Structure 1
Amino acid sequence: METLEGGEFCFPQLLNISCRKPVQHHAETVFLYILLSSISLLTVTLNLLVVISISHFRQLHTSTNLLLLSLAVSDFLVGFVLMPIQILFIGGCWVLGSFVCGLFYYASFILTSASVGNMVLISVDRYVAICDPLQYPTKVTPRRVRVCVCLCWAFSVFYNGLMLNDFLKHPDRYNSCYGECNVVIDPITGAVDALLTFIGPITVIVVLYMRVFVVAVSQARAMRSRVASVPQQRSGTVIAKKSELKAARTLGVVVLAFLLCSCPYYCFTVAADYNLPGSSTGAAELWLLYFNSCLNPVIYALCYPWFRRSIKHILTLQILQPGSREANIL
């Protein structure tokens, strides 16, 4: 952790082993606490609304929305668990002990991997829906989506537990003084991790969405030609295709936002030789990654009318009425 000689000790009673607090401007520190706490609260609130909406209303129990639900759960946990703990780093001293330090990094790695996995699943879902629409209902069923989501989370838990096994046994092994919370990943493990959780998934996401974009453009042109030739006839097939294309565009924005928010963080960790200290170094990249969890439900609110309607039902407590699960949200 970054320390300055003029700073106070984190633990004055442990002078020989305590870290020093970095010298900070009081006004700047207070501003950061207020700003980041507000982002954390907003992230928790918005993603909780997404979770309640998709879980409660039966009309929203679709394969695509199950993937959004999984993503919202990971985003909710980022705002509820990771952001508040990360705010503690602003003070320059880790006060929760080595055990919580290990759990914090483990949870952080799990949620990051799960989010990447959810983005890959969303990209696959849109690829099949746009590029193979006739087979979509049989290939992408709610049961298969649930299995894929469970496997995604299980893999994240197992894989990161394996990668951080030694660190979890001795979470204070990389700390130079008492009051730090650092984790260092060796270059070989870091290279494998970057391949599995960044380079590989991002490549799959980009390739699939490039294919989706090409097919979506051709389908949109075909629909415009069909509607122009038969202006009085709007078949259910055309309407369904428009719905799928709109969903593809919306989820494309979600994926693009994820790429813009996550790439700086992953590039930083690679450039730093996979050294992830609990300091101000790389804090901007990390909080940009966290901010994506707040951004996703904002995108839903702007692009999905059903989300705005469900928020109205929730805030007015209409969901407490009998039969509210069957309400017309779409």
Structure 2
Amino acid sequence: MNSTELNQSTVTFCLLDLGYSQIFNTCLLEVAVILFLTVLIISGNLVVIFVFHCAPLLSHHTTSSFIQTMAYADLLVGVSCLIPSLSLMHHLEGLDEELTCKVFGYMVCVLKSVSMASLACVSVDRYVAVTRPLSYSAVVTPCRVRACIAVIWLYSALIFLPSFLGWGKPGYHGDVVEWCSSSWSTQPIFTAFIVAALYAPAALTVCFTYAHIFRICRQHTRQISERRARFGRHEPEPGEQACPDKRYATVLFRITSVFYLLWLPYIIYFLLESAGIYHHPAASFLTTWLAISNSFCNCLIYSMSNSAFRKGLKRLCLLCIQRSDHTKKPSASTQQTCHV
């Protein structure tokens, strides 16, 4: 082996090829990005899960079941992000690269599929609540919600199984392992299958449901305004509450803009590489972890937009502060529980 080959063999594999791999033995920028997102994802979703468990009143909302499912899936995404960090820091060198790559890629793809499907179910749940308010409780029952969540997990687990049979690469989540980037290629047929079976239906469902929610609420508000103008009433009668257009418009904007902002670059690159049009390791890294950052944004969009959740979080913070004060000054009130 000559000196040139020796230098190449000692260079650390880094997707963001900025030249520091020739100096350091660790991909510093990649590790920093992944660890930063890991902390955000884990901490954000732990707060969501903790608030839901300590605020039983939140569990009475059907949407909360899907939000909690999404939070658990996103939390596991954050925990799994520790694997590429350890790989980049050369703590997984004893493991089989191919198996590690496939298992990690499959696991993250399944979890992101659960998160994306839960996101779509939230929009469907709100659509049914707006379009069929009188029969909502009969249509959306706890049993059906649990069955829907089970189907989400099962469908997500099955849809990516063909990747183990050599049909194609499901994503770039494992590309921090060198085998994933150099020896595992995407296939146009499998990519088209994933887009048609997961990405497109989820995106279309979100757009359809929230667009109709916005339209129905705007129409409802217009009818109430016309009725008040005709009969000269300024105060709404009981049960005649206007649909909050501004609130729904804000939620619609957040959902569609954040979803497409974070996932669309990943999907576009996925299609371009599968078709053999464009391939670049840095592009795969950036689009992948931009999409994974959605696991943190989910808890902000869907939980923080819930007024009951905000009240539960505020009450929980106050109780934590009180408990912290009481540890310094013991009293009988230290027996408070976390229930809101």
Scaled by the length of structure 1, the TM-score of the pair is 0.76
Q: Which residue of 2 aligns with 1:131?
A: 131
Instruction: List gaps (5 residues or longer) in structure 2.
Output: 168-173, 324-333
Q: Which residue of 2 aligns with 1:254?
A: 255
Q: 1:138 and 1:47, CA in 2 relative to 1: closer, same or farther beyond 3 A?
A: same
Alignment partner of 1:235 is 2:238: yes
What CA deviation, in whole Å up to 9, does each residue of 1:156-210 have, x standing for no partner?
112222x223259xxxxxx9xx952343343222221211011233223222222
Q: Which residue of 2 aligns with 1:79?
A: 78
| 1: CA distance, partners of 2:126 / 2:104 | 33
Q: 1:68 and 1:278, CA in 2 relative to 1: closer, same or farther beyond 3 A?
A: farther
- The residue correspondences of 1:112-151 to structure 2 (distance < 5 A) are 112-151=112-151
What CA deviation, in whole Å up to 9, does each residue of 1:251-298 have, x standing for no partner?
662344122211111111111017899943411111110111111223
Alignment partner of 1:24 is 2:23: no
| 2: CA distance, partners of 1:167 / 1:55 | 41
Q: Decide which structure has the larger Cα Rg and report it.
A: 2
Q: Does the 8 Å contact 2:224/2:240 carry over to 1?
A: no
Alignment partner of 1:197 is 2:198: yes
Q: Which residue of 1 aligns with 2:111?
A: 111
Q: Which residue of 1 aligns with 2:308?
A: 306
Q: Does the 8 Å contact 2:262/2:294 carry over to 1?
A: yes
| 2: CA distance, partners of 1:77 / 1:154 | 16
Q: Does the 8 Å contact 1:254/1:296 carry over to 2?
A: no
Q: Aligned AA for 2:57? A: Q
| 1: CA distance, partners of 2:140 / 2:253 | 18
Q: Aligned AA for 1:284? A: L
Q: Quick check: 215-224 or 270-279, which moved more?
A: 270-279
Q: Aligned AA for 1:71? A: M
Q: Aligned AA for 2:32? A: I
Q: 1:286 and 1:23, CA in 2 relative to 1: closer, same or farther beyond 3 A?
A: closer
| 2: CA distance, partners of 1:180 / 1:94 | 13
| 2: CA distance, partners of 1:20 / 1:31 | 9
Q: Which residue of 2 aligns with 1:181?
A: 180
C-alpha deviation, 1:49, in angstroms? 1.1
- The residue correspondences of 1:278-317 to structure 2 (distance < 5 A) are 279-300=281-302, 302-315=304-317, 316-317=319-320
What CA deviation, in whole Å up to 9, does each residue of 1:299-321 have, x standing for no partner?
35653343333334444437995
Q: Does the 8 Å contact 1:50/1:72 carry over to 2?
A: yes
What CA deviation, in whole Å up to 9, does each residue of 1:216-243 have, x standing for no partner?
211233344567753344524517x54x
3-state SS of paired residue (2:10)? coil
C-alpha deviation, 1:48, in angstroms? 1.0
What CA deviation, in whole Å up to 9, does each residue of 1:47-72 have, x standing for no partner?
11111222332211111111111111
Aligned Cα root-mean-square deviation (Å): 3.8
Q: Does the 8 Å contact 2:70/2:118 carry over to 1?
A: yes
Q: Aligned AA for 1:9? A: T
Q: Does the 8 Å contact 1:114/1:153 carry over to 2?
A: yes
Q: Does the 8 Å contact 1:67/1:149 carry over to 2?
A: yes
| 2: CA distance, partners of 1:115 / 1:247 | 22
| 1: CA distance, partners of 2:149 / 2:253 | 19
Q: Which residue of 2 aligns with 1:69?
A: 68
Q: Quick check: 31-40 or 19-28, which moved more?
A: 19-28
C-alpha deviation, 1:114, in angstroms? 1.4
- The residue correspondences of 1:310-325 to structure 2 (distance < 5 A) are 310-315=312-317, 316-317=319-320, 324-325=338-339
| 2: CA distance, partners of 1:29 / 1:234 | 64
3-state SS of paired residue (1:235)? coil
| 1: CA distance, partners of 2:45 / 2:308 | 15
Q: Which residue of 2 aligns with 1:36?
A: 34
Q: Does the 8 Å contact 1:119/1:255 carry over to 2?
A: no
State the aligned residue count: 304
Q: Which residue of 1 aligns with 2:163?
A: 164
Question: 2:57 aligned to 56, 59, 62, which one?
Answer: 59
Q: Does the 8 Å contact 1:264/1:285 carry over to 2?
A: yes
Q: 1:281 and 1:88, CA in 2 relative to 1: closer, same or farther beyond 3 A?
A: farther
| 2: CA distance, partners of 1:146 / 1:237 | 32
C-alpha deviation, 1:120, in angstroms? 2.0
Q: Does the 8 Å contact 1:184/1:277 carry over to 2?
A: no
Q: Does the 8 Å contact 1:54/1:60 carry over to 2?
A: yes
